[in-house]
Amino acid sequence: MTYNILISDPLSEDGIYPLRQAEGFNIVIDTTNTPEELAEKIKDFDALLVRSQTQVTKEIIEKAERLKIIGRAGVGVDNIDLDAATEHGIIVVNAPDGNTNSAAEHTVAMLMALARKIPQAFNSLKNQKWDRKSFIGVELKNKTLGVVGLGRIGAEVAARAKGQRMNVIAYDPFLTEEKAKKLGVEFGTVEDVLKAADFITIHTPLLKETRHMINKEAFEIMKDGVRIINCARGGIIDEDALYDAIVEGKVAGAALDVFEEEPFVDHKLLTLPEVIATPHLGASTIEAQESVAIDVSIDVVNFFTGGTVRNPVNLPSVSKEVLAKIEPFFDLAENLGIFLSRIHNSVIEEINIHYSGELANYDVRPLTRNTVKGLLKRNLGNHVNDVNAKLLADRFGIKVNETKTTTTKGFLNLVTVEIVTQRGTRSVAGTLLNGLGPRIVKIDDYVVDFTPAGHLLFIKHHDQPGVIGRVGTMLAQENINIATMQVGRSSAGGDAIMMLTVDNHVESDQVKRIKELDYIHDVKAVDL
């Protein structure tokens, strides 16, 4: 059988070599299609390979009568309608690792150029000035590099920095002291990294929690004369705060490849001689472009020849009968994971998911993936999905265990999620109630009953008269209305919890003020 493959964005010939070499593939390269033309011709193709230019919309997918797989030569898949692809049984694959080396090398190049003022010296020489005194730099040897985000790229940068005889201190939400020792880096919190580093490099995804992570307050705790590198995502650094920190002399220099708004050509940062910048070139190498094309080409070949597809990004199909039974639990499973991720404060080492009741009779692996996705989403955002969740957990050294029992435990069905961390074990359990929908019915050893949706406040406190009243008064002062409240305690005068649903989002400064109340141990705001 011959499979027709359409390549609708420019890919290098070396990148599609695996397709050329495989038997049974008819390759058509046409990078000039309008959306209307693509919608018309897609019906004749079994696979579609794209980069970021082609928009694979729902309308195109609905006309794709033969299409079975879409390959994205790159990381992001926001130009592909994943829901439509999944609905039509089309698998989508990407290439998340193809640019790792290029991005790491670009970071190190920026680090060295920043330390030695190479771009500034070159510009001076181009202006026919032989000026050596103005461009005295600093050595990297024996300096401390702070790495915020020790994933694939961050770890590569750390390894290269050690080759320059730098000391490396790193933070990552999945990094333990044991892992840090194996990598030969010092383990620290974000604050530890910012305080200790002479150079700071950022390698985190852009999430709600990481937006403007490097802000005015962060600069204040850094060393005087610190240097900043960002080749990850624009928006992680507050660019106005960075400008002020450089002008005030707190920051000696910055090397930036990514920006909050791109193209980035008219910003006051570019007027500063201490700033060097490139136009988002982290993955712009011949090798990286070939690598991502090779990765998706191999996955396409494997898909049609019965091999393993390594980088799927949408949910594989299950039988309609099984889907009908487990689909109502999809949102509950993910929200249990999200909720649990928000109320713990340590590195996850193990995830245990237990299914009780009728669910034990079905293939619940899609629910397990959803739960793991919810747990990892806090730190990985859209980089984690239903398919790669367990793969990423394994990559971070997190064990995932799934157990089932037909015992009902008081509910027709019950999903219990437990995480094992360095600080102990935390758990949450949920079910579906007829007429009420998803409910969380247990947090650790406390029995509760609330809907996992909207704006939630989880408060741990000492069981003491007046605590609940003070929390209510504080929320009223902040103009935050309480919709529902659940309370529980281990014993009279012992540890207790409050679980509140409120009408609007609780800001971090408001959470801080609640924590300052007497007898309050911990406060977590969770939005579901």
| 501 touches 450 (CB < 8 A) | yes
| 145 touches 166 (CB < 8 A) | yes
Element (H, E) at 431: strand 424-433
Residues annotated as catalytic are 233, 262, 280
Q: Is 38 helix (H, G, I), strand (E, B) or coil?
A: helix
Q: Which residues pair with 400 in a beta bridge?
A: 351
> Measuring CA to CA, how many Å separate 53 from each of 37, 84, 227, 454?
15, 19, 35, 36
Beta strand 167-171 with 348-357 is unpaired
Structure tokens at 106: 């670009």
Structure tokens at 21: 């070499």
- In the chain, count H helices and then E strands: 18, 22
Closest alpha carbon to 481 in 514, 504, 460: 504
* CA–CA separation, 104 and 159 (whole Å): 10
The end-to-end CA distance of the chain, in Å, is 47
Q: Is 3 helix (H, G, I), strand (E, B) or coil?
A: strand
* CA–CA separation, 378 and 68 (whole Å): 32
Closest alpha carbon to 286 in 12, 2, 5: 12
Beta strand 167-171 with 186-187 is parallel
Amino acid identity, position 144: T
Quote the distance between the C-alpha of residue 287 and its chain's center.
25
Burial class (CB in 10 A: 0-12, 13-18, 19+), 23: exposed
